[in-house]
Structure 1
Amino acid sequence: MQRFLYILLIFVTFGCSKKISDADLKQLNGYWEIENVTFSDGSTKTYNVNTTVDYIEIDGFEGYRKKVKPKFDGTYDTSNDAEFFTIEKKNDSFVMYYQNNLSEWSESLTQLSQTNFAVIGENNSTYHYRRYEPINIQK
């Protein structure tokens, strides 16, 4: 019964959400933290605390994503590592294609707003992200 309700919730959520347009893609720019992952078997893992966040920057249909570590003063530690991607429109949806020296993979963008986005990976798991709010502790 719980699985049925979960599947129904997914259909209602995605059935009522508006289609993503080319102009909406710019909303991906910025800092994002993973909220939860729904695995292909229906189980969910929730992330209450994140020690790293993703920084995404796109220009048109190309961009990159990198992991950054927030600091308490509102700044970030980062490395020079980045995952570059291209975005392709396929049947009224968008697919992000990643490729590096070791592998290549894709994620289908299923939801996008100023505060949230979700992608489905090749393993049929859905990754839900929320806009990251920086920590800023004043002395």
Structure 2
Amino acid sequence: MVEVSLVRLYFLRGLYLLVVVGLGFKVLPGFIQQDQPWERMEGVVQCMLAAFWALSVLGLRYPLKMLPILFWEMLWKSIWLIVVALPLWSSGQMDAATWSTASACLLVLIFPFAIPWRYVVEQYVKRSGDRLR
């Protein structure tokens, strides 16, 4: 069993706290004081962000058990940056809204430094999976 240091656990909690505070200021006011119904995709995005916020709150208490939520966040932002932002940037077609989203997604660059990779390999790669039957 790989032991995760207390410093690494605090680093992870700091990452979850960053998400909780950042999304708390961005997402929660829209839920509390929603003036009009959201469009379909805006509603999907806002609800997914709210769910990520709530799971990040759990990450403050259980930073290792909630690692998959950080993987999901890191993966979707990386995919978006590569598939959407990079082609627009390389062709000189980035508008202000896309720059804003890309800037927010680039915060994902700090995630790999907080994740205890030896623990991840031990728990998710080397460990046998759950039974199929």
Q: Which structure exhibits the higher relative contact order, with contacts defined as CA atoms closer than 8 Å and separated by 6 or more residues?
A: 2
Larger gyration radius, structure 1 or structure 2: 2
Structure with more of its chain in strand, by fraction: 1
Q: TM-score band (shorter)? A: under 0.3
Structure with more of its chain in helix, by fraction: 2
- With normalisation by structure 2, the TM-score equals 0.24
- With normalisation by structure 1, the TM-score equals 0.23
